[in-house]
Amino acid sequence: MELEDVFSSRMRVKILKLIFKFGQLNVSEIARRVNSNYSSTAGHLKVLESEGVLKVYLYGRVRLYSFNSGSQKSKVVQALIDVWEQSGRSGY
The DSSP string of 54-85 is EEEEEETTEEEEEE-TT-HHHHHHHHHHHHHH
**What's the pLDDT score for residue 64?**
97
- For 34, the enclosing helix (H) or strand (E) is none
Question: pLDDT under 50 in the chain at which residues?
Answer: 92
This prediction has a pTM of 0.88
Q: What angle do CA 29, 9, 89 make, to 5 degrees?
A: 75
CA distance 23 to 4: 24
Smallest Cα–Cα separation from 7: which of 44, 46, 55?
44
**What's the pLDDT score for residue 92?**
45
